[in-house]
Amino acid sequence: MIGTKETTHIPIMLHETARFLNLQRGGNFLDCTFGGGGHSRYFLENYPNITLFAIDRDPTVTVHAERLRAEFGNRFQFFNGPFSTIDRLSLPLLRGIFFDFGISTLQLDDEVRGFSFRYHTPLDMRMDPQNGLTAHEFLATADRGQLIEAIRDFGEEHHWRKIVDSILAQRGSEMIKYADTFAECIAKIVQKKFHEKIHPATRTFQGLRIAVNRELEEIRTVLPKAFEQLEHNGRLVALSFHSLEDRIVKQFFNEKAGKAIDCHEKWNDRSSIARILTKKPMAPTDAEITHNHRSRSAKLRALEKF
């Protein structure tokens, strides 16, 4: 059963996103990470000359999409599915495409989805709760290498060895079946330092979520497809909340702009077919972070296609 608890979704960097998408031009745009619909609603309310398409793989967000459809009619159309499938949709060429990567507030605060260690609920963590392995099933079946990738590489957890050993030792027990009990296991291993503000299980939960949903693979797959879907002077705008997400976006943007992807490549090895609009990633204002602490790690990058 999917939770129905109402929660407040606060969209991040609304004004900056709209400005870099250049919505005032009007035309067709795509929100690739609809979530609670906060960005989509803002776009539709403030820019009456746009038509907005949106996609999200979480079927529980369709209720929010239906509300926008009822309010804005043919100016809004929603698709339920992973954003990596946008090339299979009947979309026109687009003037702008927006991404808001990572987990949504709606998913994190839903007590039955297993994203948060605050609740005694089965470890699920699937953004699409109808498909794929749950987080518990992943913990119960993944080999050591897969667990290391999830916790060390995706979660960037320094204590990954002890955590992986603990998971393997506790297979078959109830401790790795529920969100709160799994978090308690990690907290016993990762001693919280005095200056740290996050829970000891935060990085492990993050890495597990990324692995279960194949989030980085989805981003790598969708960015080239999104670029192809843009018309001349169309723009890609991406909000990232994790260094691994942001790195993928940065490297893709550099590639399209003809810049070196890393230190091993010469600057002019490729032709430029786009220009980067954000010399450095933009961050939320201090006022926004005060109002919404979940915005504190956000980074915005924008690219314009030639």
Q: Residue range 238-259: average pLDDT?
A: 94
What pLDDT score was predicted for residue 57?
A: 93
The C-alpha atoms of residue 301 and residue 99 are separated, in whole angstroms, by 10
Distances (CA, A) of 290 to 108, 177, 296, 298, 302: 20, 35, 9, 13, 24
pTM, rounded to two decimals: 0.88
Across 19-28, 41-50, 282-291, least confident range: 282-291
CATH number of 107-213: 1.10.150.170
Q: What is the pLDDT of residue 267?
A: 54
Q: What is the pLDDT of residue 6?
A: 42
Which range (93-107, 137-151, 180-194, 213-227) has the least confidence?
180-194
pLDDT at 2: 40
Put residue 85 in one of left, alpha, beta given phi > 0 → left and psi -120 to 50 → alpha.
Answer: alpha
Residue type, 115: F
- Nearest to residue 209, comparing CAs of 142, 152, 134? 134
> What mean pLDDT, rounded, does the chain reach?
89
Whole-angstrom distance, CA of residue 214 vs CA of residue 57: 12
At 76, is the pLDDT very low, low, confident or very high (cuts 50, 70, 90)? Answer: very high
Checking if the pLDDT of 284 tops 70, the result is: yes
> Of 107 and 253, which is predicted with more confidence?
253
Least confident of 96-100, 106-110, 187-191, 204-208: 106-110
pLDDT range class, residue 291, cuts 50, 70, 90: confident
Q: Is the pLDDT of residue 253 over 80?
A: yes
Model confidence at 3, in pLDDT bands (50, 70, 90)? Answer: very low
Residues 127-148, mean pLDDT to the nearest whole number: 93
Q: Which CATH superfamily is domain 14-104+215-305 in?
A: Vaccinia Virus protein VP39 (3.40.50.150)
Q: How many CB atoms lie within 10 A of CB 286?
A: 9
pLDDT at 87: 93
Residue 191 structure tokens: 């001693």
- Residue 51 and residue 75 in contact, taking contact as beta carbons nearer than 8 Å: yes
Q: Spell out the domain ranges in the chain.
A: 14-104+215-305, 107-213
Q: How confident is the model at residue 5 (pLDDT cuts 50, 70, 90)?
A: very low
Is the predicted pLDDT of residue 293 greater than 50, yes or no? yes
Mean pLDDT value across residues 187-194 = 76
Is pLDDT of 213 > 90? yes
